[in-house]
Amino acid sequence: MKYVCLVHVDGEAMAALSPEEGKKLVDDSIEFDWDLRRRGHLVLAQPLQPPGTAAVVRVRNGRMSSTDGPYVETKEFLGGFFLVEARDLNEAISLAARSPMAAMGSIEVRPALEHTHSVTGEARPKPEGIGEPE
């Protein structure tokens, strides 16, 4: 089963890192991702740009609106995600707990939903070649 691990980052903790500590965190995170891949768990991992670079899109009554970046009142923000294959929620939690990013905030582990089209029976498209080594 697939589990999405949403990495919520403590912005203050990240800002307090020295350049060397920041580099080590990135290196450790990449090594963690490759270890998950080698062990057959990682489907995709991707960090995100800071919240200030985002746009929020809403459609209400057929009208679209877009505003700059989420302005949240919490000190944690969505900093990235990784998608893993695991036997069950307990194994997915165990995998997430090994992430170096768990020390920089929190990781929400959530089972992915599998939907199929009610008429055609088609599932959602699967990623092609995403995350494959070049």
Long-range contact pairs involving 34-37 (C-beta distance under 8 Å, separation at least 24):
36/82, 36/84, 36/95, 37/131
Q: Per residue in 97-120, pLDDT tens?
A: 999 999 999 999 999 988 889 999
Asked, for residue 21, whether it belongs to a domain, the answer is: yes
Residue 116 within any structural domain of the chain? no
Flag whether 53 is in a domain. yes
CATH of the domain at 100: 3.30.70.1060
Q: How many domains does the chain have?
A: 1
Instruction: Give this prediction's pTM.
Output: 0.83
Examine residue 127 and state whether it is found in any structural domain, yes or no: no
Range of the domain at 87: 2-111
Residue 131 has pLDDT above 50, yes or no: no
* pLDDT score at 50: 86
How far is residue 4's CA from residue 9's CA, in Å, rounded to a whole number?
Answer: 16
Copy the structure tokens of residue 22.
Answer: 């920041």
**pLDDT score recorded for residue 73:** 58
Q: Which of 92, 102, 87 is nearest to 25 (CA)?
A: 102
pLDDT at 13: 92
Percent of the chain exceeding pLDDT 70 equals 91
